[in-house]
Amino acid sequence: MLSNQREALVNYSDTIKCLYYNRIATSGDVSLCTGKSIPSVIKVLTELKAEGLIEEKGLAISTGGRKPLSYSLVANAHYILSVAMDRFSSRMILVDMNNDFVGEVERHEFDLHDLNAEQLCTLIDNFISKAPVDKDNVIGVGITMPGFVDTEKGKNYTYLQSSGRSLVERLEERLHLPVFLENDSTAIALAEQHFGVAANFKNVMVVNLGWGIGLGMIINDQIFRGNNGLAGEFSHIPLFKNGKLCNCGKHGCLETEASLIAVTEMAKQGVVEGKPTSLATYKEMNADAIIAEATKGDVFAVKLLSEAAYHVGEGLAILIHLMNPRAIVLSGKGSKVGKLWLAPIQQAINEHCIPRLTHFTEIKISDLNDKAQLIGGAALVIEHLGKPLEDKLRRIEATTINKI
């Protein structure tokens, strides 16, 4: 990365964030985003253009007077590596400065409980070595994954634990790139906030319908992470007296009845019992198969997802009483069949919520679907432009010099 461009990413991070999230903006738009005067903004835009980081995109529509120039980031000036992980796989993609995917998503399957930090380093390192871009133009790596993630310490207390250095420190030492770590559901909320259906709402609950049931929260237009980043463990609300052991070690969590893991186990049991379903033709039962067959109208698959959705609605009813959100967004892997989730969730909310509260809460289905986590991983790096990025770059450089 050229030193002047690096300084621009640090010193003018608020302008770059504005252009990244809006794709195209005028000086007036950037002024509103950053809170800076238009003359100051024009000066910054001129410098960023000189550094090759932004480009003019023609005249915008005028609301009166001269038509203003519009600007966007130069897409191939820099790239971000987004690594989206779930319980059983990882996906990797390069994202350019216009939030567009570069190349194909690379997928690796594993059980996250069995993966270690060195294996993850190798997967990412191999992806970067094959990437069709210069590594010097990659400004950072955004890693998003389930578990109790402490973003400030760069640790996941559930997975990939290691003694001594944090997961982020180990990755940065191996990759020589700034690495940022975030919980998958929080990253999905970040994507929905800037690029999805939550963009126009200030108070939103984003439900990550995946192997578990995560929750990302947007409060007063800000991502809410709680005291130390561990907020949003929606899966582990103890709703049931079913005696089922949850992955967290407790019994009766929402996850034991409503997660895609639970749905998959129910599907397997149904096939063994001889339930009439096209799922019986699958050699390997998984959530993708259930979602695919439910989309085709398989009665048993639809029933499984509908029952899970009702339980999710029971949990959401509790959260609505606490948070009074403007909207609930159904996102993540399971939102591909969002319409199947919608009616049972609404039914449960209607049954368990005070009507005055539900009247002002709209349930929306994500249009980002399973791309949301990858988009959120890239946005995570953009969020840390400025001093956080500069601090990481200096630390990586100091470590490299000390080794020499």
pLDDT of 377: 98
Q: 333 and 263, same structural domain?
A: yes
Q: 236 and 342, same structural domain?
A: yes
Q: 325 and 307, same structural domain?
A: yes
Report the number of distinct structural domains present in the chain.
3
Q: 279 and 154, same structural domain?
A: no
Question: Per-residue DSSP letters for 14-62?
Answer: HHHHHHHHHSSEEHHHHHHHH---HHHHHHHHHHHHHTTSEEEEEEPPP
Q: Is residue 373 part of a domain?
A: no
Whether pLDDT at 215 is above 70: yes
Per-residue pLDDT band at 227 (split at 50, 70, 90): confident
Instruction: Report the side by side order of strands in the sheet with 327-331.
Output: 222-224, 213-219, 204-209, 327-331, 362-365
Q: 250 and 352, same structural domain?
A: yes
Give percent of the chain above pLDDT 90: 75
Q: Is residue 23 part of a domain?
A: yes
Select from 82, 112, 150 the least CA-distant residue to 261: 112
Q: 255 and 162, same structural domain?
A: no
pLDDT per residue over 21-65, tens digit each? 999 999 999 999 999 999 999 999 999 999 999 999 988 776 666
Q: Which residue is associated with the tokens 């390997």? A: 284
Q: 286 and 213, same structural domain?
A: yes
Whether pLDDT at 133 is above 90: yes
Whether pLDDT at 402 is above 80: no
Q: Which domain holds residue 114?
A: 79-187+387-403
The domain that holds 302 is classified in CATH as 3.30.420.40
Q: 63 and 98, same structural domain?
A: no
* 175, 118 contact by CB (below 8 A): no
Q: How far apart are the first and last CA of the chain?
A: 20
pLDDT per residue over 237-249, tens digit each? 999 999 898 888 8
Residue predicted with more confidence, 396 or 61? 396
Crossing angle, helix 3-11 and helix 13-22, to 10 degrees? 80
Indicate the residue type of 327. A
Q: 217 and 248, same structural domain?
A: yes
pLDDT per residue over 280-313, tens digit each? 999 889 898 999 999 999 999 999 999 999 999 9
Query: Residue 32, class by beta-carbon neighbours within 10 Å (0-12 exposed, 13-18 middle, 19+ buried)?
Result: middle
Distance CA 168, CA 253 (A): 30
Q: 322 and 244, same structural domain?
A: yes
Whether pLDDT at 70 is above 70: yes
